[in-house]
Structure 1
Amino acid sequence: MRIAILDDYQSVALSMADWSVLPAGVEVVSFRDHLHDEDALVARLEGFDAISRMRERTEFPRRVLERLPRLKLLLATGRRNSDTIDLAAATELGITVCSTASIPCFPVELTWGLVLALFRRIPFEHAAVQGGGWQSGLGRGLNGRTLGVVGLGTIGLPVARIGQAFGMEVIAWSRNLTAERAAEAGVARVSKEELLERSDAVTLHVPLTPESTHLIGEAELARMKSDAYLINTSRGPLIDEAALVRALKGRRIGGAGLDVFDVEPLPAEHPLRGLDNAVLTPHIGYVTEDNYRIYFTQTVENIQAYLAGKPMRVLMPGDKVLNFAH
């Protein structure tokens, strides 16, 4: 068996688990770069029996799976995979798809890292000190400010609770949020328009669907306060990226904290790079040693189980979010 590990950006996959437990003759090859071109991806993978992918970094629609006749085992990681792997096609083609657990709290932590970085100007003050300077501007406190949470689910709810702990007023909106659920969290449910107009920080925590694509566009950005911040640690296309660039360049909002983008890795010439009112991180919300050890340890377990004829943590057509114990 030949196994490909995709998008191993930090070259850590082989050190996050004990791959030596696999039988002799199993070859594991790690690829650090990401291939956007579908033909190049197929050419790279056509000689492998199994593929391990990191979260949703590489999509596997039917047209790709059909071009990989040797593929028998697709090793996914994380809880959400059905939107980017055609599970029905995999089943028809005889490809077993297995996944792993994931710890959901880490994007919450990064969200607050970005909020604090923006309000307290941490990257800019760090740069000032490193450059030989000292205090370069005035930060803003969180206490008494208003936090607008879009999506009060697995990530949004703890984000809201932390905002309350900082002394913020927390308001929330999503298409499916009820006033009762919001009240249980001590949060006021408001309209999308009111949330945008009142919030000092707007943070997005909803899944990417056709309905949520460009949830924040030109009109929504125009409703925000001129000094408000927009934070996105969910999925890049929730925001109309071109509209956001225009708003940031025109100083129509205070700034943005972004961990996710339309195209990843973010192209070197992208206009978001270099903007002094944007704090950017390279999609690291879930990227922790803790999660990686789960992902790759359970991936090795999934390979062992498959080779033993007893596949485990198998994803089937219709599966949405998996809650495997870690």
Structure 2
Amino acid sequence: MRIVITECDHDSFEDEHGVVDPVGAELVLTQSRTPEELVANAADADGILVQYASITAEVMDALPRLRAIGRYGVGVDSVDVAAATERGIAVCNVPDYGTEAVSDHAIAMALATARGIPRLDRGVRAGSFDLVAVRPLFQTRGRVFGVVGMGLIGTATARKAAGLGYEVIGYDVLAEPGTEFHGFPAVTLTELLERSQVVSLHTPLTDETRGMVGAEQIALMRADAILVNTSRGGVVDTPALVDALREGRIRGAAIDVHEQEPLPPDHPLTSFDSVVLTPHLAWYTEESYGELKRRTIENVVDVCSDRVPRNVVNPEVLGAPGRNATVRAVRTPTPAPAPTPAPTSGAAG
């Protein structure tokens, strides 16, 4: 069994070796910057692990032995899942590894922006010792926190926001407005945008959600609203957000995910002191980092060993003839070892 990491900026791969070494599999780390390099480096691979690389139909066709693609993260928008399914290749992710980490980060960014903490910090360092720059400030109790996408992370964020005193409302395509969904009132997206002082986004990037928060939706938001995005950069129409911030039509924004990563230093979002920016790291804690690495490679090893992986986006391929063998057994989860060293940079959401 040959497994290739196409590219990755993690600083240690002990967790991955802890999974593959006992079964005698070969693990190869590459840093492929182009599709051509990826194909050359992953020749004869049974499985690949991907952090940022785009895995297209053309890439898959050039890797005839490929049986499994493991994504370091939740989203699989960088993988052509339909093409993989047509070719009998399993696409695996780790959909629940960062629930606590991402929801913690969303809350931290919302509070930092609402309290003007980065702006105050810069003021103190420059010799200012007053609150004029951030007035008015408000307590959380009595304010409305809207969660868009009430999946695992969205629901965890809602729970934490409620614990801080926010009135929480949620929107989800699966939720009927006027009912409760995962313990919180479900409303339409329009109502959520119109009522919320914090709008926190927790949706995957799909054809339906790309640009779902655009000029029309931002125009519905309150003048004292903050937009928080820890989901995917493409969910928000960034130029429309920049226009709203420039014109003072919303209070601020907190953005961890960006349409272009890394974010260019001269990007318009960097010019606003009402905006908090982080480098796509909401997913990271010591606990989530180790879990992500172990489970990503466990999924791929399982597929290549004719076992049912814990997580697979296209399960219909598991029994398909051709490039994917019939699945026979289910893995017993491996106990989690001690946390691994922190990554130096990068994102895995």
The one of 248, 262, 265 equivalent to 1:265 is 262
The one of 198, 203, 210 equivalent to 1:201 is 198
Q: Does 1:112 align with 2:110?
A: no
Change (3 A) 1:224 1:8: same
Change (3 A) 1:108 1:7: farther
Alignment of 1:199-278 (within 5 A): 199-278=196-275
AA at the equivalent of 2:152: T
Contact 1:305/1:312, CA 8 A, preserved across alignment: yes
Number of residues paired by the alignment?
A: 311
Change (3 A) 1:184 1:316: closer
Question: What is aligned with 2:295?
Answer: 298
Question: What is aligned with 1:28?
Answer: 28
Question: What is aligned with 1:165?
Answer: 163
AA at the equivalent of 2:231: S
Question: What is aligned with 2:40?
Answer: 46
The one of 47, 56, 79 equivalent to 1:85 is 79
Change (3 A) 1:98 1:312: farther
Question: What is aligned with 2:117?
Answer: 122
Q: Secondary structure at the match of 1:46?
A: helix
Question: What is aligned with 1:66?
Answer: 61
The superposition leaves residues 62-87 of structure 1 with CA deviations (integer Å, 9 ceiling, x where unpaired) of 12212344655533334554x54345
Identity of aligned residues (%): 32
Contact 2:30/2:41, CA 8 A, preserved across alignment: no
Q: Does 1:182 align with 2:180?
A: yes
Q: Secondary structure at the match of 1:273?
A: helix
Instruction: Compute the displacement of 1:315 (Å).
Output: 3.4
Partner Cα distance (1:131, 1:253) in 2: 26
Partner Cα distance (1:171, 1:25) in 2: 48
Contact 1:148/1:195, CA 8 A, preserved across alignment: yes
Instruction: Compute the displacement of 1:229 (Å).
Output: 0.6
AA at the equivalent of 1:43: E
AA at the equivalent of 1:8: C
Contact 2:91/2:314, CA 8 A, preserved across alignment: no
Contact 2:90/2:315, CA 8 A, preserved across alignment: no
Change (3 A) 1:134 1:16: farther
Partner Cα distance (2:277, 2:247) in 1: 18
Contact 2:170/2:187, CA 8 A, preserved across alignment: yes
Q: Does 1:12 align with 2:7?
A: no
Partner Cα distance (1:96, 1:179) in 2: 35
The superposition leaves residues 99-151 of structure 1 with CA deviations (integer Å, 9 ceiling, x where unpaired) of 55624222111110110110111222222334454345444321111112222
Unaligned runs of 5+ in 2: 318-331, 335-349
- TM (norm. structure 2) is 0.75
Q: Which runs of 4+ in 1 moved over 6 A?
A: 22-25
AA at the equivalent of 1:164: A
Unaligned runs of 5+ in 1: none
Instruction: Compute the displacement of 1:270 (Å).
Output: 2.1
Q: Secondary structure at the match of 1:283?
A: coil
Q: Secondary structure at the match of 1:242?
A: helix
AA at the equivalent of 1:106: A
Question: What is aligned with 2:71?
Answer: 76
